[in-house]
Amino acid sequence: MEDSLHYSQLLRGFGSINRTEIALVGRGVDSGTAARLRKDGWTLGKLSQESDERLVELGLSNEVIGNLRAGARPEIPFENLIQVLLASRFACCVCHDSSKAIIVHHIKAWAESRNHHPENLAALCADDHVKAHSVSQLTRNLDERTLSEFKRNWESEVRRTNTEAVLEASRLDADAWWYFNHVRLFELAADLGLRLTALDNYPYALSTGLVQKDGLLKPRSDKLHYMYSGGDGMLLYAYVREVMNTVLSKLTIFNISDSLDKSRLAPTVKSGDVIYTQGAHNFSAQTRADAGRDQTRSGIRKANHVSVNFTFDGWEATSNSAWSCWLSGRHDAGSLVKVVDVSKVDGVLRITGTVLGICCALEGLKCREYAATLLRSGAHLKVDEDSIDEGTEW
């Protein structure tokens, strides 16, 4: 059972992707067997030097043995494997059981398609992998069309679940949001066709003069330290929070809090994606302004040689505590960022984007502790997670 749980554990953050295991999966080995072989000290090179009889003893099929031999099917590219595994949440796209070991299967057979593209790859458990290679009179056959449908529906469900997790966690804490990027938030609302006048808090915001008839915000006094200052700040927060929740419900959000590994994110995070990351953030002022607009501040979440970087206006803080405390210095926080650029700088995967909102750390959205390896070993050290790297080199 330990081996079969390995890849679901990776997703929940108790480990990082190992290239030996991924290389074996790329040649048709199921994830449980790949984890067992790696733990027993086997590498791809060592296995390729063994006899067929020995490989069978180790639990490898004739098809896999053929893939290990020179001149056999080329391995599935690492980037493609990662995309498929993450998109399926390391679970079978047919039965969705994350406790089972999985095999990356070609929907249209490699012998016919010569296609390693993610669209032609599906994550299957061993049972459903057998069904994909057989015809049954009693159960639904997993032919190319059916398997493509299962893959499409499951990956859509995974994306929806990621979004709902962020949305529900933020709803549980009414005061969760420390900052809103109002310009980008209302732009998104317009792009998504959101009717601001239909929101529950619209009548109250309109009657108190906080919004125009179309639901857009009225300008706030530049004399204020932050735009939510004053007796009407709570009503303003309730209205904008509802806008944020409604926009979130229509977006696809990737929670990368437990996935800060260069090898995972480099092939998967692209410009235009909306990501959520939670953990220790560093916030610092870039100007001396302390009232009105243009109180530029920077934010960075960095761990495991991955950094998420953005700037924001402190003027848009939602409370005095957020403006004076939580958005300055180092704090456990969550940031919702629309990715603009992904680059590799001095060994760090640098993700730069436009922050849409900053909130307190939300329950259930981050499990992985990036310094946990040293702590579990009994080393009583003060560890800066910025320097910890549990992942592999590129």
Q: What's the pLDDT at 186? A: 98
What are the structural domain ranges in the chain?
6-158, 173-394
Q: What's the pLDDT at 17? A: 61
Q: What's the pLDDT at 11? A: 39
Q: Where are the beta strands (DSSP E) in 85-198?
A: 102-106, 121-125, 177-180
Structure tokens that stand for 394 in this block: 């590129």
Structure tokens that stand for 117 in this block: 């593209």
Question: Of the candidates 315, 318, 317, 312, which has an alpha carbon nearest to the alpha carbon of residue 284?
Answer: 312
Question: Of the candidates 174, 18, 163, 167, which has an alpha carbon nearest to the alpha carbon of residue 85?
Answer: 18
Distance in angstroms (rounded) separating the CA atoms of residues 64 and 260: 31
Q: What's the pLDDT at 72? A: 61
CA dihedral 311, 276, 375, 6 (to 10 degrees): -150
Distance in angstroms (rounded) separating the CA atoms of residues 252 and 275: 9
Q: What's the pLDDT at 330? A: 97
Q: What's the pLDDT at 179? A: 98
Transcribe 268-315 into DSSP letters. T--TT-EEEEEEEEEEEESS---SSS--EEEEEEEETTEEEEEEEEGG
Q: SS3 for 252?
A: coil
Q: What's the pLDDT at 252? A: 85
Burial of 169 (0-12, 13-18, 19+ CB in 10 A): buried
pTM over 0.75: no
Distance in angstroms (rounded) separating the CA atoms of residues 302 and 372: 16
Q: Tens-of-pLDDT digits for all 394 residues of the chain?
A: 333 333 333 333 334 567 788 888 888 888 889 889 989 999 888 888 888 899 999 999 888 888 887 656 677 888 888 888 888 888 899 998 878 888 899 999 887 888 989 999 999 998 888 888 886 654 567 889 999 999 999 888 887 777 777 878 777 777 899 999 999 999 999 999 999 999 999 999 999 999 999 999 999 999 999 999 999 999 999 999 999 999 998 988 888 888 888 877 888 888 999 999 999 999 999 999 999 999 999 999 999 899 999 999 999 999 999 999 999 999 999 999 999 999 999 999 999 999 999 999 988 888 777 654 433 334 333 333 443 333 333 3
